[in-house]
A = this chain, B = another copy of it.
Amino acid sequence: MTAPTNLSGEDSLIARYFKPLATDPGAFGLVDDAAVLSASGEDIVVTTDAVVEGVHYLASDPPDTVARKALRVNLSDLAAKGAAPAGFVLTLALRSKEDAWLRPFADALGEDAKTFACPLLGGDTVSTPGPQMISITAFGRVPKGRMVGRTGARPGDIVLVTGTIGDAALGLDVLTGGAAATALASDIAAKDALISRYRIPQPRNMLAQAVRDHATAAMDVSDGLAGDLTKLCAASGVSAIVNVETVPLSAAAAGLIVRKAICVETLLAGGDDYEVLCTVPPAQSDALIAAGRAAGLAVTAIGTIVAGHERPRFLDGQGQELALKRLSYSHF
């Protein structure tokens, strides 16, 4: 990503929209092909996530929310790894260079970069005849050896999750005219809240340090709580029991369940939550919940890690296991 004096179409696009975002000295004002991330003995955490038009966001989604989603899905990974954001690089595959799309996209990206202290370091802008795609690689810092992995969950650990689960999947359902859209026909406020959860993830970076201090394993919930907990357990060589009644739901989601408009499985397997899922030793559970409370964020115990290699079990209020047909979103 370069922004020199003699500007080709691509360079002028970069200079106009993205140079203002490159506030970090390591970005060299985007006049170089490469950026520098200085490191003094800590570990650099690297994560990469792409969003594709028509797959991760809808063609009708506003460009400012697309920008925020593209960055925030990566910030969410950093939060779950206990890392402080350090910067990101952006690959933007565009069909056209319409100002009406690029201006709000770049402005929102710049706002989020500032809000989350995660400056743009560089990138690549390419043309594509197909759907637009935004691929971001984000960097974070942790003290050496302190990234929170997926492999440390131990029997007896408490399973915690931040925020509420399933709202983004319901937001997508509203946008695509599914059961939630029908059931909430006249409830504009609820529909807007769910749509917002789909379009604009709320990464839990304020909790990163507490996750690093207390969690034995962590990941962000991006493909569905059921599937993601299954992955975490598999990586740690353990199983889990989840009490589904304790899974935190928004008022809108809980209302839809009560009215039987949707079933809880939809929420447990729905993607795009971008909450932190982690396991903590029982003695430290309260500390993490308190850290959340101090940050205005609900952190909820939903189950326990147990020995074994079978898939985590999701039990209803009667202790009956739910037969989940689908665990999560999969691209293939």
Interface residues of A (CB under 8 A from B): 1-2, 4-6, 8-11, 13, 28, 31-52, 54-56, 77-78, 80-81, 83, 89-91, 93-94, 97, 121-131, 133, 135, 137, 139-140, 144, 147, 149-151, 219-220, 222-223, 227, 230-231, 234-235, 309, 311, 327-328, 330-332
Residues of chain B contacted by A125 (CB below 8 angstroms): 331-332
Residues of chain B contacted by A47 (CB below 8 angstroms): 33-35, 122
A4 partner, pick from B81, B91, B235, beta carbons under 8 A: B235
- CB closest chain-B residue, reference A139: B46
- With contacts A50-B91, A81-B34, A234-B4 taken as known, whether A130 is within 8 angstroms of B129 at the C-beta atoms is yes
- With contacts A127-B55, A130-B128, A235-B4 taken as known, whether A34 is within 8 angstroms of B45 at the C-beta atoms is yes
A9 partner, pick from B33, B91, B311, B330, beta carbons under 8 A: B330
Contact B2 A231 (CB under 8 A): yes
| Distance in angstroms between the alpha carbons of A172 and B97 in the assembled complex | 26
Q: Specify the main secondary structure of chain A where it touches its partner.
A: mixed
Residues of chain B contacted by A139 (CB below 8 angstroms): 46
| Distance in angstroms between the alpha carbons of A34 and B230 in the assembled complex | 17
| Distance in angstroms between the alpha carbons of A97 and B331 in the assembled complex | 10
Contact A91 B135 (CB under 8 A): yes
Residues of chain B contacted by A31 (CB below 8 angstroms): 150-151, 235
- CB closest chain-B residue, reference A12: B332
Contact B137 A81 (CB under 8 A): no
A42 partner, pick from B5, B13, B39, B93, beta carbons under 8 A: B39
| Distance in angstroms between the alpha carbons of A311 and B234 in the assembled complex | 59
23 A-B residue pairs with CB within 8 Å: A2-B235, A4-B235, A6-B230, A9-B330, A28-B150, A28-B151, A34-B78, A34-B147, A35-B45, A37-B44, A38-B144, A39-B43, A39-B44, A44-B44, A46-B121, A50-B93, A54-B129, A55-B126, A55-B128, A125-B332, A128-B131, A129-B130, A133-B135
